[in-house]
Amino acid sequence: MSAIAIGVPISGRSAIHQVATFRLCWRRARSSKPTGSFRARKRTERKRPLSDIPQRPLTEADYSAIVRHHPTLPRRELSMRLINSEKNNWGFGTDDRVNTVAGRLYGHHVGIVREEAATYDIQAERLRKTFSTARAEADRSAAILLFAMAEDVMSHGLKKHLRGQVAGGWEGICNGNGLLATANDRMTILALLGWVSPLVYADLRIMKSIRNCFAHNPDVTGFDDNKSRGFISSLSPREKDALLAARADAPLTARQLYLLRAGSTLTQLIHNLAIGPAARREHVSPEHASTSDWEQTPANLKELHRLEAEHYILVVG
């Protein structure tokens, strides 16, 4: 029989003792791994108070961290911090020549993105007509129309920024079983490329679900239906500050809420497509290229904001 089987001492200790020690060490090693039967206790992440936010120019990582910890923090406050980032050399600092030059080079690429965004066709008249028609149509028609416009905006942005030549051209890609034949295909590729924000991507998926509710369910007759109302409440609530500015105090109906949130999703989609592709190509943050300083905002994006504001005022009355 082997020495281990009969428990004969090895190196001064019994084999049983050595096996037990090995098993204990193995259990401890397993517990430090993310998988296995002995998992380490999950560390709880403390929710930091606002006073802990560093008072320095925001970087994109700071922005993401703050939104994760404080999803209700007003975006305008974050926007002002981003303006300060530009004034403070984009967070590179000015403590030495290297950081100063690095910040200026980064700012040069931000300028390139803004110049390209200024040339983007926001299809202002089509958007104004779409908003006007949606406000006049019944609930079913409005839901189908606004998502149809979103599909067209996605196609327009993809055609502008994807310039390579492929077999079959755009007709082959966008029709039949093509790569971008469906709305889901277009939303997915835009999200994967990082051309639209995760928030806009999520809202587009919800708008698609609302469209499908009306297109495929004859029993859903309006936005007051429980199923469609649930989807509407999941759309990003961007209307609070705008309604305060418009002095609209009356409670919103489900129809008004949909028209406001779907309209904001459309304008945010266009804004993302004007800036996102160029920002990714130039390796700068889209948030930095999307200035909150009204004087520095390109004329076409100012017009986009005015269209959204006009839509808001006409919806709430």
User: What does the pLDDT read at residue 7?
Assistant: 43
Give every residue of the chain whose pLDDT is below 50, as ranges: 1-11, 33-56, 58, 63, 66-84
Domain boundaries in the chain? 1-30, 124-316
User: What does the pLDDT read at residue 55?
Assistant: 46
**Residues 40 and 32 sit within 8 Å (Cβ to Cβ):** yes
The span from the CA of 180 to the CA of 265, in Å, is: 21
3-state SS, one letter per residue, for the chain = CCHHHHCCCECCECHHHHHHHHHHHHHHHHHCCCCCCCCCCCCCCCCCCHHHCCCCCCCHHHHHHHHHHCCCCCHHHHHHHHHHHHHCHHHCCCCCHHHHHHHHHHHHHHHHHHHHHCCCCCCHHHHHHHHHHHHHCCHHHHHHHHHHHHHHHHHHHHHHHCCCCCCCHHHHHHCCCCCCCCHHHHHHHHHHHCCCCHHHHHHHHHHHHHHHHHHHCCCCCCCCCHHHHHHHHHCCCCCHHHHHHHCCCCCCCHHHHHHHHHHHHHHHHHHHHHHHHHHHHHCCCHHHHCCCCHHHCCHHHHHHHHHHHHHHHHHHC
pLDDT single digits (tens) 35-71: 444 444 444 444 444 444 444 454 555 545 544 444 4
Pick 124-316's CATH classification: 2.40.160, 1.20.1250, 2.60.40, 1.20.120.
1.20.120
User: What does the pLDDT read at residue 246?
Assistant: 66
User: What does the pLDDT read at residue 183?
Assistant: 86
pTM of full prediction above 0.85: no
The span from the CA of 146 to the CA of 164, in Å, is: 29
From the number of C-beta atoms within 10 Å of its C-beta (0-12, 13-18, 19+), residue 195 rates as buried
Q: Considering just the CA atoms, what is the radius of gyration of the chain in Å?
A: 27
* 223 CB neighbour count, 10 Å cutoff: 23
